[in-house]
Structure 1
Amino acid sequence: MTTFSDLNLDPKVLKAIEATGYTTPTPIQEGAIKPALEGRDVLGIAQTGTGKTAAFTLPMISRLGKGRARARMPRSLVLAPTRELAAQVAENFELYAKGSRLKKALLIGGVSFKEQDQLIDRGVDVLIATPGRLIDHFERGKLLLTGVEIMVVDEADRMLDMGFIPDIERIFEMTPFTRQTLFFSATMAPEIERITNTFLSNPVKIEVERQNTTSQTITQVLVEHRPKNKHYAAKDKREILRSIIARDAEDCRNAIIFCNRKTEVDVVAKSMKKHGLNAEPIHGDLDQSQRTRTLDAFRDGSLRFLVASDVAARGLDIPNVSHVFNFDVPSHAEDYVHRIGRTGRAGRTGTAYTLYTPSDEKYLDAIERLIGHSIPRGDNPWTAPAGDAAEEEEAPKRTRSRSRSRAKPSEEAAEETAPDAAQPDAAQDAAADEARDRDLAAKARKPAEEAPARAEEPDTAERSGRGTRSRGGRGRDQGERGSRVVGLGDHVPSFIEMSFEERMAESA
């Protein structure tokens, strides 16, 4: 059996490893540390939770033991896709670099540029950064990458998913071509393979397990639910989630609940807290300080449930997570592997539940093709109450009531408050229509010979006639009957002078 002492690591590093309690390297560590110490490029492919961080941190500390950092020119660079993963790498560096004089700097968003600039100005041996913040410092003229001896790209496939590949290529071009490159990924997409062929020189490839496999220590369960109405699917899944937690209360010490959308993360966390469960959300829209507090609380056990987007699916090293819940089936099959990899770590066992509805069928098919087997089906502990059917029938009725023709605010209020008996019936409507037609016909009768006389009437008479119009603008009242048709002058067409009854008789 291989031990860390067999890997030619620096004695100070071995002492730090011994203090952590580890004695035997994982397969990815055993395969990557030796060639990394020799200065060769390394391409490591292993699923999450297999110890990739220590696989590049330990040889990096051993190689950087000799030498001195210069201002604004880091000696090594570690790129991580998320702030949480970058912070975790920084924690591992501090853990294994005890006894050495190596300095580090962490460049992530949500932290003051001024504080980070001060660290860089003093000179750092290890620079740990997310791509966006690193480029920001470079463009501001605060950072030079020409002194980088070792460059590490961690979770490269996640970089691809988040759209960082153009930034990674640009950063590679900023560093010297003589650098040593350590490239780690859980999956090997074609785009990742293209980058490794371009920027790695004759790398040693270590593939611990078949790509896209899940750990054997994780019990996977698919819970299927067929909602009566798709609009109630999310609400039903929240009920199912709470039912599973209540059923597995003895075994479910803590859990990460993954959602596809940030808005869903907030809704699920709020719902769980409403029902007395100790839960908090974490996603990319939250302040870095809040995200840090939430993660620290989850690590120390004061927070039981972490509701997360995929920002937390990679690199969070929390060994004691007992359960993972996929509240939403991930739209990218690879994310399923990384999500459930948050449990069953370091040889421990874990359980991963996935809540499935018929609309997720294509995503589930992609996941099962990726992992090479179907996910075992489990029991649904929640049954929809009978009252849900009545709610579904009422919903469209409320929708139809809002689609009526526009009415004045006063009329709408009257319709909402008045009983149905107060509405005019069909006979009243017909009588009102007939009276309105007679009124219009009477107004239309204007003898042509009266037109000149009307033109000579005083202007005050016309003003008084106009003044008696109804407020609704529906026509003239009795005082205006017989007034000239505005716009036609003295020559009024004869058909306008005909009454409604006469026109109907002619048409018959």
Structure 2
Amino acid sequence: MTDDFSGLGLSPKVTDAVAAAGYTKPTDIQAQAIPHVLQKQDIIGIAQTGTGKTASFVLPMLTLLESGRARARMPRTLILEPTRELAAQVHENFEKYGKNHRLSVALLIGGVSFEEQNKKLDRGADVLIATPGRMLDQFERGRILLNGVDLLVIDEADRMLDMGFVPDIERICSLLPARRQTLFFSATMPPEIEKLTRKFLRDPVRIQVARQNSTAENIDQKLVRVGSKPDQKREALRQQIRAADGLTNAIVFCNRKRDVAMVAKSLARHGFDAGELHGDMDQKRRTETLDAFRSDRLSILVASDVAARGLDIPAVSHVYNFDVPVHAEDYVHRIGRTGRAGRSGVATTLVTGADSKHLDAIVKLIQQDIPFADNDTGAPADQPENAATAEEAKPAKRRRGATRERGQVKARPATSTEPQSETVQQTQPEPQVPADAVEETRTAKTRTPARSKAPKRPQKESNDNTNPFGNDGPIPAFLLRTSAWSN
């Protein structure tokens, strides 16, 4: 294995740009993949994020593109990425390493106007970097001709599978010339991905630089037991962040997009510089949030798994799993956001009693135990998030709806569109029936008086009056007047 880039067969223009960027020694994936790419062989590269995988195809591609020129609407090479962020970062790599070249690079991602993208396509693109959906959209509009593509890169293939892009990938491959070079990169190789490689690659060279279940040794991993209620988990998260040693910035991962927004707003309400990143945000907001986090204007980024791979932020000191990931492989990729480039990092996972199945799968995958930390900084499992909500948390132990105690009917707080129910005292054998239950009482003649003390409520609890931030505090009056918080 060569100790520098000059021995890999790259052109002088590329090696000069690499040296100017401050890199002197190739990573394992770069040293093994680059020579094969330059020989125009198909490749299956299995490597975790943070191993320099992107440069392993960008650098040789720049060398190969030095001969020939682009034609209108006919890109010479195509790189497919599962997310906008990954596509944008590959584009940044071409700008950094291709500064000595006069190549045209087009970026096709959602959230960006078609007009600007069309201008680049009409001028001719040497390199087309795209997400599958937007690329097919442009192809169907007649803006792209794919019969000139001689090199295809499918990056983060297992993430493509998770996001449901495999049918799109199959269709795109069928539109490309049969005689082409294909580079296939993935962190894991599930059976569906193996099938895809057998279908579209010709005699590929298989390169694997790390086991798919490996986690960096310089990451301090720990588990923290917490209560299962969202307010308890948010309290535990805040206390873990406050008690962290050497925290400069952190990424907090949630399984669901709605929890990303809730956790980010809760942290902001408690004085943390927190922002959110998930798939429902438009491209402008996502870009602004990432830029703010990279430039230290945000110290905490709350994200869904759309950000679990490919974020090029080398100095993340801490990672917090607000939820235990459903897929064990996602745990490896999440905590891989810290401990990069030889730095140390800390990965903390909040664990409830319902997480044992997913936790066992993670331990089995990484083949090592993750210790439980002392729970001094975690929220007690039977305590609410703060004292102000203690009384509000008690009824949660009962069946949701009206509760009955010794002749009283204590109604659940009404929604913003209903008047507040009053507590009805039983002063005679026949209980007083709330007005909204009179008709129900008349029709249910066989109902006993004890069962008519409370109006019939649907068993499914309404969220109309639920604070979207959990039990962090009372809902401001202006929020009760809008339906935006009803979900």
Question: For this structure pair, what is the TM-score category when the shorter chain's length is used for normalisation?
Answer: 0.7 to 0.9
Cα deviation for residue 372 of structure 1 reads 1.4
Q: Deviations over 1:274-333 (max 9, x none)?
A: 000000111111111000000011111111000001110111111011111110001111
1:399 pairs with one of 378, 401, 413: 401
Gaps of 5+ in 2: 433-487
Q: Deviations over 1:264-283 (max 9, x none)?
A: 00110011000000001111
Mapping of residues 119-158 of structure 1, within 5 Å: 119-158=120-159
Mapping of residues 12-411 of structure 1, within 5 Å: 12-225=13-226, 227=227, 230=228, 233-248=229-244, 250-380=245-375, 381-384=377-380, 385=383, 391-395=392-396, 396=398, 399-401=401-403
Contact map agreement 2:232 2:379 (CA 8 A) in 1: no
Contact map agreement 1:265 1:281 (CA 8 A) in 2: yes
Cα deviation for residue 211 of structure 1 reads 1.9
CA distance in 2 between counterparts of 1:424 and 1:241 reads 48
Cα deviation for residue 400 of structure 1 reads 2.2
CA distance in 1 between counterparts of 2:284 and 2:419 reads 52
Amino acid at match of 2:68: G
Amino acid at match of 1:114: E
1:401 to 1:201, Cα distance in 2 relative to 1, 3 A: same
Q: Deviations over 1:373-418 (max 9, x none)?
A: 2212212213435868765543438722499899xx9xxx999447
1:53 to 1:392, Cα distance in 2 relative to 1, 3 A: same
Cα deviation for residue 109 of structure 1 reads 0.3
Structure whose alpha-carbon radius of gyration is higher: 1
1:401 to 1:26, Cα distance in 2 relative to 1, 3 A: same
- Output the TM-score relative to the length of structure 1: 0.78
Amino acid at match of 2:401: T
Cα deviation for residue 8 of structure 1 reads 1.1
- Output the TM-score relative to the length of structure 2: 0.81
Provide the residue aligned with 1:455 in structure 2: none
Local SS of the residue matching 2:401? helix
Amino acid at match of 2:213: N
Q: Deviations over 1:217-265 (max 9, x none)?
A: 222111122x3xx4xx2111111111111111x4110001000111100
CA distance in 1 between counterparts of 2:190 and 2:364 reads 15
Local SS of the residue matching 1:378? coil
Amino acid at match of 2:231: K
1:428 to 1:373, Cα distance in 2 relative to 1, 3 A: closer
CA distance in 2 between counterparts of 1:273 and 1:405 reads 34
Amino acid at match of 2:356: E
CA distance in 2 between counterparts of 1:373 and 1:293 reads 38
Contact map agreement 2:403 2:410 (CA 8 A) in 1: no
Local SS of the residue matching 1:251? coil
CA distance in 1 between counterparts of 2:372 and 2:427 reads 59
1:427 to 1:135, Cα distance in 2 relative to 1, 3 A: closer
Gaps of 5+ in 1: 430-508
CA distance in 2 between counterparts of 1:344 and 1:215 reads 7
RMSD: 2.4
Amino acid at match of 2:102: R
Cα deviation for residue 424 of structure 1 reads 5.0
Aligned residues: 416
Cα deviation for residue 143 of structure 1 reads 0.4
| Bigger mean CA offset, 394-403 vs 109-118 | 394-403
Local SS of the residue matching 1:377? coil
Q: Deviations over 1:22-66 (max 9, x none)?
A: 100110111100100111111100111101100100000000011
1:219 to 1:427, Cα distance in 2 relative to 1, 3 A: closer
Amino acid at match of 1:212: N
1:53 to 1:414, Cα distance in 2 relative to 1, 3 A: closer
Amino acid at match of 2:428: D
Q: Deviations over 1:450-499 (max 9, x none)?
A: xxxxxxxxxxxxxxxxxxxxxxxxxxxxxxxxxxxxxxxxxxxxxxxxxx
Local SS of the residue matching 2:309? coil
Contact map agreement 2:402 2:410 (CA 8 A) in 1: no
CA distance in 1 between counterparts of 2:133 and 2:219 reads 34
Contact map agreement 2:224 2:378 (CA 8 A) in 1: no
Q: Deviations over 1:48-95 (max 9, x none)?
A: 110110010000000001110000000000000000000000001110
CA distance in 1 between counterparts of 2:424 and 2:129 reads 70
Task: Work out whether 1:426 is the aligned partner of 2:429.
Answer: yes
Amino acid at match of 1:47: Q
CA distance in 2 between counterparts of 1:199 and 1:414 reads 64
CA distance in 2 between counterparts of 1:144 and 1:197 reads 25
Contact map agreement 1:343 1:349 (CA 8 A) in 2: yes
1:405 to 1:243, Cα distance in 2 relative to 1, 3 A: closer
| Bigger mean CA offset, 35-44 vs 205-214 | 205-214
Contact map agreement 1:47 1:212 (CA 8 A) in 2: no
| Bigger mean CA offset, 102-111 vs 391-400 | 391-400
Amino acid at match of 2:129: I
CA distance in 2 between counterparts of 1:79 and 1:427 reads 72
CA distance in 2 between counterparts of 1:66 and 1:180 reads 16
